[in-house]
């Protein structure tokens, strides 16, 4: 089972604010904490003491803390990759290598006596992980995560992201990616146009980003890159991540009937296996609700994302629930257009797989 996580940046905030955020995230089942020590500007001892205080607090909540570092930091702190006691004493569960070494060093680091996880960068698209694996690392201590990208238009292309994931999935390594909370305001750097891995996610609602990563099925852990996400975002992300089925948000038409509402929102849907290019079909509703009346109304032309129910003129298909995958005619007026998948979630329709279960939920204000 994967985990959800948050990010904190003690240099940019206060212990009180970080602790309150950790408490809130813990309440909603968040287990991972990302933080950054890429640069230490100012009083080194004071900065490290602040970090240690926050890490200790997260540990009390049984949250796993990964510290992002670069080879330059080893020089700044006068430490060696052969001795990771500094990070053990800091209370971290592991270190994330923003920039890697040669592969031999990473493998050696996985065999540290403290059981620290060594998290490597997934985003480069090179044979980096193959090289590390050739040096026989302790696989239990090797995990991976993508970068996040604070500059607009610099995030990963989706095809590149998928290709990178495949390089790591073949070794069975735990993987992670970052998503962007629209309510959050800061990260580790001065420029911050959001902190997501995929560029296509930058301006999407947090919930949609999470759903798409889950549907891809190639990322284990999902971490909010920027701070601080709102309580509503934390709650919705948690509900979505731990839900046994995907929930698609629907904006219902004004004249939807009560029977149509029951059909859509009170029934667990199942994507019929014989896939059509035009329709995602949930056929069991026509069996369960065959006794109900579905008078014809709102039989407009059909566009991608429309949610449909077969009406009384549709014979054996009366009561069947469908989602349009592309535009199609409704010239025989046999389908009632009773709602529409919300605009920001239309991209999810391409990722849902036949034979999968899902539910439809009515769009609410805090989603």
DSSP calls for 92-118: -SEEEESS---SHHHHHHTT-TT--EE
Per-domain residue ranges of the chain: 4-243, 248-362
Question: Within a 10 A sphere around the Cβ of 90, how many other Cβ atoms?
Answer: 17
Strand partners, 323: 280, 307
Q: Which residues 6+ apart lie within 8 Å of 275 measured at CB? A: 354
Task: Please list the pLDDT of the chain residue by residue as tens digits (367 residues).
Answer: 899 999 999 988 999 999 999 999 999 999 999 999 866 766 778 878 889 999 999 999 999 999 998 777 888 788 888 999 999 999 999 999 988 888 999 999 999 999 999 999 999 999 999 999 999 999 999 999 999 999 999 999 999 999 999 999 999 999 999 999 999 999 988 888 999 999 999 999 999 999 999 999 999 999 999 999 999 999 999 999 999 999 999 999 999 999 999 999 999 999 999 999 999 999 999 999 999 999 999 999 999 999 999 999 999 999 999 999 999 999 899 999 999 999 999 999 999 999 999 999 998 755 5
Which fold does the domain 4-243 belong to in CATH? Answer: TIM Barrel (3.20.20)
Separation CA 117–CA 126 (nearest Å): 22
Burial of 47 (0-12, 13-18, 19+ CB in 10 A): middle
Nearest to 337 by CA among 227, 257, 232: 257
Considering only CA atoms, which of 263, 239, 261, 248 is closest in space to residue 351? 248
Residues pairing with 243 in the sheet:
none
**Beta carbons within 8 Å of 315's beta carbon, 6+ residues apart:** none
* Domain 248-362, second-level architecture: Beta Barrel (2.40)
Contact, 331 vs 169, CB < 8 A? no
Report the DSSP beta bridge partners of residue 359. Answer: 247
42 exposure class (CB count in 10 Å sphere: 0-12, 13-18, 19+): exposed
Rounded to two decimals, what is the model's pTM? 0.94
Beta bridge partners of 215: none
Distances (CA, A) of 99 to 67, 102, 128, 215, 359: 13, 10, 11, 29, 41
- Name the DSSP class of 170: T
Helices (H), 204-278: 206-216, 231-242, 258-265
């Amino acid at each position: 089972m994967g985990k959800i996580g948050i990010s904190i940046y003690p240099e940019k905030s206060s212990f009180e604010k970080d602790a309150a955020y950790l408490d809130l995230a813990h309440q909603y089942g968040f287990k991972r904490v990302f933080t950054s020590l890429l640069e230490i500007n100012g009083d080194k001892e004071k900065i490290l003491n602040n970090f240690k205080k926050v890490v200790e607090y997260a540990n009390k909540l049984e949250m796993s803390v990964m510290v992002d570092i670069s080879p330059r930091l080893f020089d700044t702190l006068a430490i060696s990759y052969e001795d990771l006691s500094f990070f053990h004493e800091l209370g971290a569960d592991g270190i994330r290598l923003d920039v890697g070494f040669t592969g031999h060093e990473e493998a050696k680091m996985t065999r540290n006596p403290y059981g620290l996880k060594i998290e490597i960068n997934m985003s480069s698209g090179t044979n980096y992980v193959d090289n590390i694996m050739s040096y026989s690392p302790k696989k239990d201590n090797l995990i991976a995560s993508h970068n996040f990208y604070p500059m607009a238009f610099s995030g990963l292309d989706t095809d590149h992201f998928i290709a990178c994931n495949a390089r790591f999935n073949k070794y069975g390594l735990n993987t992670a990616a970052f998503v962007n909370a629209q309510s959050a305001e800061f990260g580790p750097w001065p420029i911050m146009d959001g902190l997501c891995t995929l560029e296509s996610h930058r301006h999407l609602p947090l919930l949609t980003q999470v759903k798409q990563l889950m549907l891809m099925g190639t990322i284990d852990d999902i971490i909010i890159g920027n701070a601080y996400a709102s309580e509503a975002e934390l709650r919705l992300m948690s509900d979505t991540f731990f839900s046994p089925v995907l929930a698609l948000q629907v904006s219902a038409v004004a004249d939807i009937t009560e029977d149509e509402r029951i059909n859509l929102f009170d029934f667990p849907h199942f994507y019929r296996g014989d896939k059509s290019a035009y329709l995602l079909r949930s056929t069991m509703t026509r069996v369960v609700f065959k006794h109900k009346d579905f008078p014809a109304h709102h039989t407009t032309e059909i566009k991608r994302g429309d949610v449909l129910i077969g009406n009384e003129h549709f014979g054996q298909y009366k009561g069947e629930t469908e989602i349009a995958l592309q535009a199609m005619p409704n010239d025989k007026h046999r389908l009632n257009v009773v709602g529409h998948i919300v605009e920001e979630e239309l991209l999810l329709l391409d990722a849902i797989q036949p034979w999968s279960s899902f539910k439809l939920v009515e769009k609410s204000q805090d989603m």
